[in-house]
Amino acid sequence: MAEIHIVGIKYIEINDQTDLEFKYKPEVPKLKLFGTLLNPETEDDEEGVLFLTQKQLNQVIVDKDIDLKLQDDRWYLNKPMSKEQTKKVGLVDIDAEFLGASGELKCYEAVKVS
């Protein structure tokens, strides 16, 4: 289990991969967030994928004035996050299971958002 933080969001889409075995509520549909993830242990931020539920996503972005727009079955930020929004989103602790790598992207499943 790793603790990660979201420091950038490129887009979010509904997960359509059926070959993944999720540990956290496997029966609940997952969203796939593509963005910049920070690993506090290594202090590295890198492009990655985070699989999370709608409830978990809401916990991450609630009260941060983040506006998403739907375009071609993906949700994009209506405008880039400000430094203040990035700090607020980045402060949310996400306990995640490492699922593996897909090319250069590391893939995680959110287990707990606090």
Summarize pLDDT for 22-55 with one digit per residue, the tens: 999 999 999 999 999 998 887 888 999 999 999 9
Mapped onto helix, strand or coil, the DSSP state of residue 30 is coil
Q: Are strands 2-14 and 74-77 parallel, antiparallel or unpaired?
A: antiparallel
Q: What is the pLDDT of residues 14-23, one digit of tens each?
A: 999 888 899 9
Q: Enter the pTM of the model.
A: 0.93
Q: Identify the pLDDT of residue 88.
A: 93
Burial of 21 (0-12, 13-18, 19+ CB in 10 A): exposed
Q: What are the extents of the domains in the chain?
A: 2-113
Q: Identify the pLDDT of residue 2.
A: 87
Query: For residue 114, which of 98, 96, 101, 100 has the smallest C-alpha distance?
Result: 96
